[in-house]
Amino acid sequence: MNSRIPLRIGTAMALAAAPWPAAAQAISASEATELRAQIAALKAQVQQLESRLDGMAAPAAQGQATPAPAPTGQPPAQMTQAAPALPVPDTVTGWKGGPVFSKGAASFKVKGRIQYDAGLLKAPGSVDDGAKGYSNELRRLRLGGEGQLGGGFGYKLEVELSDNKVDAVDTYISYERGKWLVMLGNQNQFQSLDELIGDTSGSVMERAAFTDAFGFERRLGLAVQYKSGIVLAQAGIFSDSIDSLVNPDGDQNNSYGVDGRVVLAPKFGKTQLHFGLSGHWRDLQRLSGNPVEYRQRPFLHTVNSYFLNSGKMAVHGENHYGLELAGVHGPLWWAGEGHWLRVRRPGLADPTFFGGYGEVGYVLTGETRSYKNGIFGGVKPDNPVGNGSGGLGAWQVALRYDHLDMNDRDIVGGTQKSYIAALVWTPIEYLRFNVNYAHIDYIDAAIRAGSRSNYGVNVLGWRAELDF
């Protein structure tokens, strides 16, 4: 119905009620003629509405349902206009383990991580080292945030308390457009699959021994990533880690390197496969008074004893490359890597060190381990604890063989063979409990057992971790 009808009716009624002389003084003859025409039109519309009401009443007389009458003071449904939509708040708060705020294209997510580690190292009695026995630590305490700024720009900022110091972890600005992603800042430089997997989503407590022994770490640099279909290509140029750049005894702030990684990730039915190749070249630009040392702990970060150690070496640069093979099918997954590091020394033969591992795992409760952008993720429980139906969370097991050999040329850094079993319980999303057992056989160990450098140790480790 025309919204001007009530106004016109009111005006006509006012004119009809007013004395004619007053009305004649208020309007001209032409205006009176127009109003009479409008009144006639209104009468016709009222008659039309009455006909509609009669038509609606007819079905009721025949026993058919009729629409409910409109509330008192309101016109029938056909005569009402759509109510205006309520304004939608431009700031939305969500929850993904931590609060998420968004406004338009911009967003901010609070991030945090807590890891508490403990372990027990059993070594021959003739090993005279403080690493034996029980040890524990607050492995990581991390806080930060990430989000989007709009226009394809994003950011991530995290700081971490570990090893009794505060370090910047992932700290970068990003730009994403279509299949391309550019990142500038402190970040990982695509060194290996196991290194890129988050420490709260890995299958065992500690990453492959070669990742630590070869000095893998985040560094300051510019990286570019291209992803299309099954192809993922990553490349970048990097200097040193942030803590090295501010440390006067560090890398002298002039080291640089080039890193790249290519992944093919085809999927056949329910089977996701992963094939990866990475290459790395680095010029350390180190002075003779600042040597390099390659070393490794016995599968426990809670101890500071290094059973493998190359000794301090004058190193000008590093060349290394790695191969990756992995896959996941339902609750089953498998992974394996090999990595070769060639150490460039001035005036001496260049030794080549090797590290690698192979593992197989299974989610006992039936969930599938996630895989995205060339990296394995964690397991989200289908039936978390506290869901009201007796959920047990997600349980997974893994077996891994880990090998590290740092004996080559004139360098005797030692060799280790590790046999690892892991049990991981994820009662609810973002929370995990991890128990590991490892037996390690050493050859040419840097820490001797009396007169012996060949012997074995046993390690039991456990971890509680919250990550959001």
pLDDT above 80 (res 383): yes
Confidence of residue 30 (pLDDT cuts 50, 70, 90): low
Asked whether 371 and 196 are in contact (CB, 8 A), the reply is no
Q: Please tell me which residue, 77 or 109, carries the higher pLDDT value.
A: 109
The CATH-assigned architecture of domain 110-467 is Beta Barrel (2.40)
Q: Which of 66-70, 445-449, 458-462 has the lowest mean pLDDT?
A: 66-70
Q: Centre a 10 Å sphere on the Cβ of residue 377 and count the other Cβ atoms it contains.
A: 15
**What is the percent of the chain with per-residue pLDDT over 70, rounded to a whole number?**
81
Mean pLDDT for the stretch of residues 222-245: 92
Asked whether 308 and 296 are in contact (CB, 8 A), the reply is yes
387 residue type, one letter: N
For the stretch 34-54, pLDDT in tens is 777 777 777 777 677 666 766
Q: Which of 61-75, 309-323, 375-389 has the lowest mean pLDDT?
A: 61-75
**What is the percent of the chain with per-residue pLDDT over 90, rounded to a whole number?**
68
Q: Please tell me which residue, 13 or 189, carries the higher pLDDT value.
A: 189
- The secondary element (H helix, E strand) that includes residue 282 is strand 271-283
Mean pLDDT for the stretch of residues 187-212: 95
pLDDT for 389: 84
Q: Centre a 10 Å sphere on the Cβ of residue 294 and count the other Cβ atoms it contains.
A: 26
Beta bridge partners of 102: 92, 107
261: which 2 tokens?
């990684």
pLDDT for 352: 98
pLDDT for 79: 41
Q: Which of 20-24, 102-106, 221-225, 332-336 has the lowest mean pLDDT?
A: 20-24
Q: Please tell me which residue, 163 or 11, carries the higher pLDDT value.
A: 163
DSSP-assigned letter for residue 61: H
pLDDT above 50 (res 149): yes
449 vs 9: CA distance, rounded Å: 108
**Nearest CA among 97, 98, 102, 95 for reference residue 148:** 102
* DSSP alpha helix (H) spans, 390-439: none
Beta bridge partners of 327: 273, 334
pLDDT for 7: 43
pLDDT for 89: 56
* Domain segments of the chain as ranges: 5-79, 110-467
Phi, psi (degrees; rounded to nearest 5) at 345: -120, 140
**Nearest CA among 191, 173, 171, 192 for reference residue 182:** 173
Going by C-beta distance under 8 Å and a sequence separation of 6 or more, which residues neighbour residue 245? 220, 239, 251, 253
pLDDT above 60 (res 88): no
Q: Please tell me which residue, 387 or 349, carries the higher pLDDT value.
A: 349
Mean pLDDT for the stretch of residues 198-202: 93
Confidence of residue 163 (pLDDT cuts 50, 70, 90): confident
214 vs 192: CA distance, rounded Å: 11
**pTM of the prediction?**
0.79
pLDDT above 80 (res 319): yes
Q: Please tell me which residue, 149 or 241, carries the higher pLDDT value.
A: 149
